[in-house]
Structure 1
Amino acid sequence: MQVFKFGGASVKDANGVKNLASVLKTVGYKNTLIVVSAMGKTTNALELVIKNYFENKTELQSSLQDVKKYHNQILLDLFDNVNHYGFKKVNLLFDELNIFLKTNKSPDYNFVYDQVIGFGELVSTTIISEYLNSIGLNNNWIDVRTQIKTDNYYRRANVNWEETQRLISSNFKVSVLNITQGFLGSDENNFTTTLGREGSDYTAAIYAYCLNANNVTIWKDVPGILNADPRYFENAQLLNKISYREAIELAFYGASVIHPKTLQPLQGKEIPLFVKSFLNPEAKGTQIGKNETLEPMMPCFIVKKNQVLISLSSLDFSYIVEENISDIFNLLHTYKMKVDVIQNSAISFSVCVDNVYNNLEKLLQHLKAKFKVTCNENVSIYTIRHYNKAAIAQIETDKTILMKQLTQETVQLVTK
């Protein structure tokens, strides 16, 4: 059994869908599961639909129609006959989405987000499944929500592994080509949940774990895992081999090529992960596995933008000790802040967080009751694994350094 994951960039248009089919023909598709993301920038487009649903109802249908037109064009480019069953299936999905938007009574943004956003993956896999069938690559379309079960922590749901294992083991056809959606699951009431942005990699790992797959391959528009994101760093270089441990470290610090939760289930069963280019499918790419050293050994750069640095100090110059720190972390948990960097001294405590749920103002008001609070928004966190002096100097040039931490393997800098 092998598991392939294709991201949105790989299927952003009809040529991308055709290339996916070409990749399958090149590398083989026997006993294979394909996990696919939403096409192109569909997730962003659906986020606009959600925004309009809550804030600008007059633009709601227009933004929804834009999403529908985008997918309809891909269908027209793939199928000569407008009466092809694929058109009907996609229309039914958009009808279902429209009905939800008209009948939903829940004011919970996170709940609505998950019910709407998942249609990107449902539509993309429907189109791809129909196209593969049309060219003789017969496949089994799976609604992932019937097999991956989670709690109801909408937008960052936690997997119910026991129930997921039971459902996949009893309902999965191993001997055929299967296709399903990344990123999605469902709770005990069968409402759609999501696993966090970029969660399609995690979906592939969940299936690989439950199916005891031989390997997982993530197909991307880069030759493999690079030592830096080429959007932000020049001269990024390919890493040929990485250990699970190193890859987990890179993912934890925010390397965008791998979802942070992806590697744990793979490591548990020692399932190798490959990251390869869908533009050059026969190239080796990057292999992540047990006991693989970093090859070649070099500094690895990661940047996370749009972060928030919160600095606290005691109002009466008393020590910030265990009890205070416990209170601070309880508040961070309550307001769903993802913590990225921590630094403390006798009378101060600083933390860099990701304000995913837009709860910053509520958190700050709560903190100001007990501490003197300074807040810097829109900061960046630069992390360098296996750093050297030249690598640090490269990041520090022309930046204001708000916080700096060094350990034996890693340096982190918060900059403005």
Structure 2
Amino acid sequence: MRIFKFGGASVKDAAGVKNVFDVLQKVGYEEVLLVVSAMGKTTNALELVIKNYFDKSNELFESIQEVKKYHNEILLNLFDDENHEVYFDVKSHFADFEYFIRSNKSPNYNFVYDQIVSFGEIISTTILSHYMNYRNIPTQWIDVRNYIKTDNTYRDAEVNWEITQRNIGKIAKKKSLFITQGFVGSDENGFTTTLGREGSDYTAAIFAYCLNAESVTIWKDVPGVMNADPRYFENATLLNQISYREAIELAFYGASVIHPKTLQPLQKKEIPLFVKSFINPLLPGTSVSKGEDLDPKLPCFIVKKDQLLLSLSSIDFSFIMEENISEIFNLLHLHKLKVSLIQNSAISFSVCIEDKFGNFNELKKILSKKFKVSFNDNVSLYTIRHFDEKAAQMVERNKNVLLRQISRETMQIVTTSESN
């Protein structure tokens, strides 16, 4: 069996849904399982519903109507017959959605988040399944919550592999085109859970692992994985091959390649992962698999904007030792500040961090009691894997370099904005 994952951008409108049909016609759909995300920006729209729900906002009804209107417009552009059963099924899902909002008693934000946001995937897969059947590609829609079982860590659930393997094994010998939801699972009580960052890719990997799949293909609006983000670097080059290890390294430094938790189950069984274009599906794309680290072998550039460079030095010129560093990291963890780079000397310690939750000022007050604190905000962190001096010069051109760190395969450079 082959596993195909289609993200929200691939099914953002009626044209996108029709294109998925065209892709399957070109690459085949026998013994295929489709993992599909919510349509377009539906997850964002449902997050607004959740916000309005907790804020007891007068705009709650309106935000729900926006989600319904968006999906209804897609339905009208896909199905000529307004009495088609897809309308009944989608209406039924929205009825369940609204019933939960009316009847929920839990104040737990993460629990409510998972129950509501998962409707995006449920509805998108319902529409796609009906459309495939409508165009004479028979499909079997399955509810992923009956297959992927997790603990009850809502919004970042851990998979129970033993039960999940047993559940998914039931479809191993069937030859249907299956369509199911990415990102979603359920706990032992049957409540919906979600799998956290890059959850739909992870879903594809879970099914691949449990079915001993031939391959996983992630369909995107780009030709594959590039050696640099074309938004920031000219002449970005397509990578034909990346090893599992190299892909995990790139992801660790912030590349939007594939999340490590997606790669780990695939690596265990050496199941290849392909990143291909849903615009040009017959192009080879990028293979993430056992083999060469990189083909072609050239520098890979990763940039993270809006970082903070924090430097601490001891007030009394004493050494910053292990116990100090342990305390600093504990504080960074408590304040949810993600560390991207570390550098220390005898009496100073520097980290490049991401203040996603706006907690830096609070942390700075605490650190100031024991250390001299200095920082630069709005800095950029460039990571170059398989660097050479030419690559470094290209990154540093017209920038003020605050920090440069080199290891065997990796160079990291912290810069301020381009100088005038």
| Contact kept in structure 1, 2:248 and 2:259, CA below 8 Å | no
Equivalent in the alignment of 2:276: 276
Query: Aligned residue for 1:255?
Result: 255
Q: Distance in 2 between matches of 1:256 and 1:27?
A: 25
The alignment yields a C-alpha RMSD, in angstroms, of: 2.4
Structure 1 residues without counterparts, runs of 5 or longer: none
Amino acid in the other structure paired with 1:90: V
In the TM superposition, 1:360-371 aligns within 5 A as: 360=360, 363-364=363-364, 366-368=366-368, 370-371=370-371
SS in 2 for 1:219: strand
Larger Rg: 2
- State the one-letter code of the partner of 1:124: S
Q: Which residue of 1 aligns with 2:110?
A: 110
> Percent identity of the aligned residues?
66
Give the corresponding residue for 1:88: 88
The 1-side partners of 2:93 and 2:375 are apart by: 44
Distance change in 2, residues 1:21/1:98 (3 Å):
same
**Size of the alignment, in residue pairs?**
416
- Tell me the residue number matched to 1:153: 153
Give the 3 Å change call, closer, same or farther, for CA 83–256 of structure 1 in structure 2.
Answer: same
TM-superposed deviation, 1:4: 0.5
Q: Quote the offset at 1:208 in angstroms.
A: 0.6
TM-superposed deviation, 1:37: 1.1
Counterpart AA for 1:101: I
Classify the secondary structure of the residue corresponding to 1:342: strand
Q: CA deviation at 1:220?
A: 0.9
Deviation at 1:244, TM superposition (A): 1.3
Mapped partners of 1:156, 1:377: distance in 2:
29
Match of 1:201 in 2: 201
Distance in 1 (CA, whole Å) between partners of 2:306 and 2:397 is 19
Could you say which residue in structure 1 is the equivalent of 2:221? 221
* Counterpart code for 2:147: Q
Distance in 2 between the 1:25 and 1:272 partners?
22
- Contact kept in structure 2, 1:309 and 1:353, CA below 8 Å: yes
Residues 254 and 260 in structure 1, CA contact (< 8 A), matched pair in contact too: no
Output the CA distance in 2 between the equivalents of 1:266 and 1:325: 35
- Where does residue 77 of structure 1 map in the other structure? 77
Q: Deviations over 1:353-407 (max 9, x none)?
A: 4445555555555545544444555443221111222222222234343433211
Mapped partners of 1:368, 1:121: distance in 2:
46
Are 1:287 and 2:287 counterparts?
A: yes
Mark the CA change 1:243 to 1:79 in structure 2 (over 3 Å): closer, same or farther: same
1:39 corresponds in structure 2 to 39
Once the two structures are overlaid, the 10-residue window that deviates more, 26-35 or 353-362, is 353-362
Contact 2:250–2:257, Cα closer than 8 Å, also in 1: no
* Residue 323 in structure 1 maps to residue 335 in structure 2: no
Residue 50 and residue 363 in structure 1: after superposition, are their counterparts in 2 closer, same or farther (change >3 A)? Answer: farther
The whole-number CA distance in structure 2 between the counterparts of 1:242 and 1:415 is: 28
Task: Give the TM-score normalised by the residue count of structure 1.
Answer: 0.91
Aligned partners of 2:247 and 2:257 also within 8 Å: no
Distance 1:335 1:185, change over 3 A: farther
Using the alignment, how far apart are the partners of 2:202 and 2:342 within structure 1?
26
Aligned-partner Cα distance in 1 for 2:235–2:80: 43
Partner amino acid, structure 2, of 1:30: E
Aligned mates of 1:243, 1:253 — CA distance in 2: 16
Q: In 2, Cα distance between the equivalents of 1:371 and 1:107?
A: 40
Query: Retained in 1: the 8 A contact 2:151–2:160?
Result: yes
Where 1:57 maps in the other structure, the secondary structure is coil
Query: How far, CA to CA, are the matches of 2:361 and 2:348 in structure 1?
Result: 20
Query: Counterpart of 1:5 in 2: which secondary structure?
Result: strand
Residue number in structure 2 paired with 1:240: 240
Which deviations, in whole Å up to 9, do the C-alpha atoms of 1:318-374 show, x marking residues without a partner? 322222222333344444444322222223333334445555555555545544444
CA separation of 1:374/1:65 partners in 2, compared to 1, >3 Å: closer, same or farther?
A: farther
Partner SS for 1:393: helix
Aligned to 1:63: 63
Q: 1:310 to 1:182 in 2, by over 3 A?
A: farther
Separation in 2, partners of 1:349, 1:247? 29
2 CA distance for matches of 1:121 and 1:293? 34
1:1-12 correspondence to structure 2 within 5 Å: 1-12=1-12
* Comparing 287-296 and 343-352, the one that deviates more: 343-352
Please tell me whether the aligned partners of residues 36 and 179 of structure 1 are also in contact (alpha carbons under 8 angstroms). yes
The structural deviation recorded for 1:16 is: 0.9
User: Normalised by the size of structure 2, how large is the TM-score?
Assistant: 0.90
Between 1:23-32 and 1:107-116, the stretch displaced more is 107-116
Alignment-derived partner of residue 127 in structure 2: 127
Q: Secondary structure at the match of 1:239?
A: coil
Counterpart residue identity of residue 42, structure 2? T
Query: Equivalents in 1 of 2:188, 2:33: separation in Å?
Result: 25
CA-CA distance at 1:274 after TM superposition? 0.9
Question: 1:199, 1:259 within 8 Å by CA — same for their partners in 2?
Answer: no
Relative distance call for 1:214 and 1:42 in structure 2 (3 A) is same
Residues 362 and 401 (structure 1), Cα distance of their counterparts in 2 relative to 1, 3 Å cut = same
- For the 8 Å contact 1:225–1:286, the answer to whether it is kept is yes
Q: Conserved in 2, the CA contact under 8 Å of 1:299 and 1:386? A: yes
Q: Whole-Å Cα distance in 1 between the matches of residues 261 and 49 of structure 2?
A: 28
